Structure 1
Amino acid sequence: MTETPNPNIIDADTLTGEMRPIRRVVIGLGSNLGDRLDNLQGAVEQLGDTPDVWITGVSPVYESTPVDCPPDSGDFLNAVVLADTTLSASRLLDRALAIEDAYDRDRSHGVNAPRTLDVDLIVVGDRRSDTETLKLPHPLAHERAFVLKPWLDLEPDAEFPGMGPVAVLLEKVGAEGLKLRDDLSLAIE
């Protein structure tokens, strides 16, 4: 993220009058089962249809070799979505999980098993969380080229909270196993 959300910029809930800060969010998308591109596009559309979430950018699509996955796992398609939201991090996580469920995400085989759709909260404003269900910023994203490169494409001066510039992190990690798929793209509806 290039800046900390301004707590003075607020959105008033039209029903309750509750004032909520607008937070900048980075969301990572991935799929290696089924129609991978369709799965990513569906996630973008569902995020865009979420009340109080405004998509501001969608990265190019990358294909990546699986990291820490079972042998013979297929390659992933990955992208990053930038958005602004007044939702709390926990409500945004609930929405991300619901989107995954809509695409029949199977969680019974472990965290790194092949999946139809992965919707990861990477950064939610300046929020920090270290609970069993929500860890912010995402604890491994600063080591994952398939998150860093698409994010860098959208925000060349992006900063990973507590870790430094995304460009420097990507340089350390390298982009081996990551391929730009300029024949594929995602649309903001």
Structure 2
Amino acid sequence: MTAPQPHVRAVLALGSNLGEREGTLQGAVADLVDRPEVRLLNVSPVVTTKPVGGPPGQPDFLNMVIAVETTLEPLDLLAHCQAVELAHHRTREVRWGARTLDVDIISYGSVTSADPVLTLPHPRAAGRAFVLYPWSLMDPQATLAGESVAALAAAAPDMAGIAHVQDVPQGQEP
């Protein structure tokens, strides 16, 4: 008999700028926690943001962050996130292009990794208000690599592109 895997707190960032964005985010949160190895701990408000990087002329994104507790190993959690993206019709044609759903693992406990398949913490998260701002609303005491998430959000170049905040999607409170 194998020992049970320890529970690890992970932070996931979700974004959508194609299709029925709000419904996609709601469905994705439900799908991400619709297995026994992943339990929802907290949900950020949804923010509207301008696209960062990628081709010009993309629609605005809806972005949010969730905290989960999981027994999945990091690469298994990544595979699960990518399966949820695929279930919501994610295609990967243009880097940072418009998409129905993007799910990124921002942090996985205290794990650090330079693996090109899954770098932890997420290598660009510390400079992206579209991740940091909703995360700071969800958890004002949060830190990333020892720095305040709220302070990182305030200093992020895309902070001015955050248009407004919506309430937590219906039915997604932990």
TM-score (norm 2): 0.93
**For 1:184 and 1:83, how far apart are their aligned partners in 2?**
16
- State the partner residue of 1:143: 127
- State the partner residue of 1:122: 106
Structure-to-structure mapping, 1:35-54, within 5 angstroms:
35-54=20-39
SS of equivalent to 1:37: helix
Structure 2 contact 32–38 (Cα < 8 Å) conserved:
yes
Structure 2 contact 51–60 (Cα < 8 Å) conserved:
yes
Q: List 4+ stretches of structure 1 deviating above 3 A.
A: none
| CA-based RMSD | 1.6
Q: CA deviation at 1:61?
A: 0.6
- State the partner residue of 1:22: 7
Note the alpha carbon deviations across 1:134-184, whole angstroms, 9 max, x for none: 11100001111111111111111101025x111221121162010233367
SS of equivalent to 1:40: helix
Runs of 5+ unmatched residues, structure 1? 1-15
**For 2:115 and 2:170, how far apart are their aligned partners in 1?**
32
**For 1:186 and 1:59, how far apart are their aligned partners in 2?**
12
Structure-to-structure mapping, 1:32-111, within 5 angstroms:
32-110=17-95
TM-aligned CA distance change 1:87 to 1:183, over 3 Å: closer
Structure 1 contact 128–135 (Cα < 8 Å) conserved:
yes
- Give me the identity figure in percent: 42
TM-aligned CA distance change 1:177 to 1:148, over 3 Å: same
**For 2:168 and 2:43, how far apart are their aligned partners in 1?**
12
1:167 partnered with 2:138: no
Q: CA deviation at 1:97?
A: 0.4
Point out the structure with max Rg over C-alpha: 1
Which of residues 118, 130, 152 in structure 1 aligns to 2:136? 152
Q: CA deviation at 1:89?
A: 0.5
Q: How many residues align?
A: 172
Letter of the 2:39 counterpart: W
**For 1:144 and 1:186, how far apart are their aligned partners in 2?**
26
Letter of the 2:37 counterpart: D
SS of equivalent to 1:21: coil
Structure 1 contact 27–121 (Cα < 8 Å) conserved:
yes
